[in-house]
């Protein structure tokens, strides 16, 4: 077997055999136990006639230690793991299973009802349910594994074989299957400890779960590679989060954008966590620079800011400790996503693909050692995104003279109003500075006079009485007049998909009939 994900897991199981690999739901497993159970899963699939190289769907929750066993077992057995977000609906699950060609499904008890309601499960060669009573037609995962062998067997897997299929979030339709080779994911797993500054045999206090495929190669697998424990603490209160970090000597934690205030509260209540905490990775959307500055003031140079996406399988840019100490030359480090790692290169291109100089906004284009292998069954989409080995991200941004990059939004979300460009992320950042605003999304709506009108959907904190005029006045105090929202909508919540991304096309459809498109004063 070549240097594949399976060999990486097998080596870690041998080298860190008695270390605790995973904690979840009050249970734990050692590295040796995870690998043994992984081989049992591989044998259980073989016993049901499923040959190595087949695709197996995995829809897993963070409440079970078995979730890690599943991905380890699929890699050991030479299977392609099809990641299924546990927040999907039955029709979405049906799309992923049928589109990927998965012949088996493994899921935990949390999404069991969704799996039971999906129509594709009836035709699967194997269907294993972890925890609880298996749905009709499914087998007990525990029973299937207890009856299976656990001895390692030779499996011929090669670096360009597909290890994982991760589906994009699908904000404008059904998601696309991103093909991730063993070469790409192994390169990422070996890169991340360097990029995110993991210590050997550390402890990750992980408030996330298995919903997003990037968490596999960005947090879970790299910690397994370094002999570290991943403790799943989804839904933890700031008090529980802080207490866990102190009690277990956490060396790493993840701060998704919505969780940053809770993390800061956890660390203020339990400052002893900073004695062992080495890295705080920010993820999950732009972090307002003002909030980033507050976070650095609390945790010092432990913050790791990065930029990446499913198609490039891991981080592309990174900040380092010296940046937060003022040792870098970035124009605005708190607004930046850092500089490219040595495994990648990135540049800003115009509409014709020509490189742009520092300071000019264009599309971000990437080359990387971790590049995906294409979209599943979609050669035309692959050809449009991958040109001469470089990935056209669809993200807009610019770089400064020191080589630091800044994101300004998505290309398809750019608002052109009266001939001027407005980047939604810039307006969203300002709106979120208002004390009463807890969520905001900015988009363009048709306007006869201006072409497009800047529009915003805003969610206020419970009990807030802020008016539309007050929001506009605040935006106008921070932004040029043409950037302030012309149309403003107060909502109880923003529509988000299973990847927690705001579905702006849904917002636009919801409000399109309630606005005056004849233009107004700006």
The string of DSSP codes covering 99-159 is: HHT--EEEE-STTHHHHHH-SGGGG-SEEEE-SSSPPTT-EEHHHHHHTS----------T
What are the tens digits of pLDDT across the range 447-458?
Answer: 877 778 999 999
pLDDT band at 519 (very low <50, low <70, confident <90, very high): very low
Angstrom distance (rounded) from CA 72 to CA 130: 15
Tens digit of each residue's pLDDT (9 = 90 or more) over 49-92? 999 999 999 999 989 999 999 999 999 999 999 999 888 889 88
Task: Classify each residue of 138-151 as buried b or exposed e, where b means 16 or more C-beta atoms within 10 Å of its C-beta.
Answer: beebeebbeebeee
CA 270 to chain centre: 27
Higher pLDDT, 2 or 470: 470
Over the stretch 396-419, which tens digit does the pLDDT of each residue have?
999 999 999 999 877 778 788 877
Q: Give strand pairing partners of 80.
A: 55
Between strands 314-318 and 306-309, the pairing is antiparallel
The topology under which CATH files domain 414-514 is GMP Synthetase; Chain A, domain 3 (3.30.300)
406 DSSP β-pair partners:
398
* 305 burial level (CB within 10 Å; 0-12, 13-18, 19+): buried
Token output for 280:
């705080």
Across 74-83, 234-243, 446-455, 469-478, least confident range = 446-455
Contact 424, 413 (CB under 8 A): yes
Residue 275 has pLDDT above 80, yes or no: yes
Q: Are 193 and 226 in contact (CB under 8 A)?
A: yes
Across the chain, mean pLDDT equals: 92
Q: How far apart are CA 462 and CA 470, in angstroms?
A: 17
Judged on CB neighbours under 10 Å (0-12, 13-18, 19+), 297 is exposed
More confident residue, 60 or 514: 60
Residues 106 and 130 sit within 8 Å (Cβ to Cβ): yes
Nearest alpha carbon to residue 196 among 168, 178, 220, 165: 220
The residue extents of the domains of the chain are: 1-184, 414-514
**Residues 417, 447 contacting (CB under 8 angstroms):** yes
Tokens 């209160």: give the residue: 237
Token pair of 424, please?
């939604």
Question: Mean pLDDT throughout 241-246?
Answer: 98
Q: What proportions of the chain, in percent to the nearest 5, are helix, strand and coil?
A: 35, 25, 40
CA distances from 446 to 173, 360, 490, 513 (A): 21, 26, 19, 11
Beta strand 279-283 pairing with 303-304: parallel
Q: Interior CA angle at 349 toward 346 and 353, to 5°?
A: 115
User: Cβ(55)–Cβ(102) under 8 Å?
Assistant: yes
Rounded Cα distance between 16 and 243, Å, is 26
- 135-182 pLDDT, tens digit per residue, is 999 999 999 999 999 999 999 999 999 999 998 865 445 678 999 999
H helix intervals, 326-423: 379-385
Residues 6+ apart with CB under 8 A from 281: 196, 218, 219, 252, 253, 254, 255, 304, 306
Predicted confidence at residue 412, as pLDDT, reads 76
Kind and range of the H or E run holding 59: strand 55-59
- CA gap 411, 117 in Å, rounded: 37
CATH for 1-184 is 3.40.50.12780
Instruction: Give the confidence band of 498 by pLDDT, cuts at 50, 70, 90.
Output: low
Asked if 448 and 496 touch (Cβ cutoff 8 Å), the reply is: no
- Residues 470-474 have a mean pLDDT of 93
């Amino acid at each position: 077997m070549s240097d594949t994900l399976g060999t990486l897991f097998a080596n870690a199981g041998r080298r860190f055999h008695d270390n605790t690999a995973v904690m979840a739901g009050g249970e734990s497993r050692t590295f040796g136990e995870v690998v043994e159970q992984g081989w049992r899963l591989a044998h259980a699939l073989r016993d049901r006639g499923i040959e190595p190289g087949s695709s197996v769907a995995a829809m897993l929750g963070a409440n079970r230690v078995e979730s890690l066993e599943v991905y380890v077992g699929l890699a050991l057995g030479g299977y392609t793991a099809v990641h299924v977000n546990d927040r999907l609906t039955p029709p979405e699950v049906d799309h992923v299973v049928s589109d990927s060609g998965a012949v088996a499904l493994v899921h935990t008890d949390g999404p069991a009802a969704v799996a039971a309601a999906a129509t594709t499960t009836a035709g699967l060669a194997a269907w294993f349910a972890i925890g609880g009573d298996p749905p009709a037609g499914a087998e007990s995962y525990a029973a299937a594994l207890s009856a299976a062998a656990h001895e390692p067997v030779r499996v011929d897997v090669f670096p360009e074989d597909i290890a994982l299929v991760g589906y994009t979030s699908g904000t404008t339709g059904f998601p696309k299957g991103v093909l991730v080779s063993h070469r790409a994911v192994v390169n990422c797993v070996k890169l991340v400890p360097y990029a995110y500054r993991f210590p050997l045999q550390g402890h990750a206090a992980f408030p996330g779960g298995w919903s997003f495929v990037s968490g596999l190669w960005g947090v879970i697998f790299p910690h397994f590679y370094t002999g570290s424990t991943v403790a799943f603490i989804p839904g933890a209160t700031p008090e529980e989060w802080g207490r866990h970090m102190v009690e277990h000597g956490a060396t790493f934690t993840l701060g998704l954008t919505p969780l940053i205030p809770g993390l800061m509260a956890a660390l203020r209540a339990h400052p002893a966590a900073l004695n062992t905490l080495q890295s705080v990775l920010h993820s999950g959307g732009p972090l307002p620079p003002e909030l980033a500055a507050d976070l650095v003031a609390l945790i010092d140079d432990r913050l790791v800011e990065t930029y990446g996406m499913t198609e490039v399988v891991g981080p592309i840019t990174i900040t380092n400790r010296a940046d937060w100490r003022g040792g870098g030359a970035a124009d605005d480090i708190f607004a930046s996503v850092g500089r490219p790692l040595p495994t990648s290169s990135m540049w800003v291109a115009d509409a014709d693909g020509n490189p742009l100089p520092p300071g000019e906004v264009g599309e971000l284009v990437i080359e990387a050692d971790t590049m995906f292998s294409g979209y599943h069954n979609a050669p035309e989409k692959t050809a449009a995104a991958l040109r001469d080995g470089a990935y056209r991200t669809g993200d807009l941004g610019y770089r400064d003279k020191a080589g630091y990059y800044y994101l300004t939004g998505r290309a398809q979300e750019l608002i052109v109003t009266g001939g001027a460009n407005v980047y939604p992320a810039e307006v969203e950042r300002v709106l979120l500075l208002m004390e009463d605003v807890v969520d905001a999304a900015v988009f363009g709506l048709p306007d006869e006079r201006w072409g497009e009108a800047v529009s915003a959907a805003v969610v206020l904190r419970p009990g807030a009485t802020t008016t539309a005029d007050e929001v506009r006045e605040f935006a106008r105090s921070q932004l040029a007049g043409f950037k302030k929202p012309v149309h403003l909508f107060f909502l109880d919540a923003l529509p988000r998909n299973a990847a927690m991304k705001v579905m702006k096309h849904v917002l636009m459809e919801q409000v399109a009939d309630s606005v005056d498109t004849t233009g107004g004063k700006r």
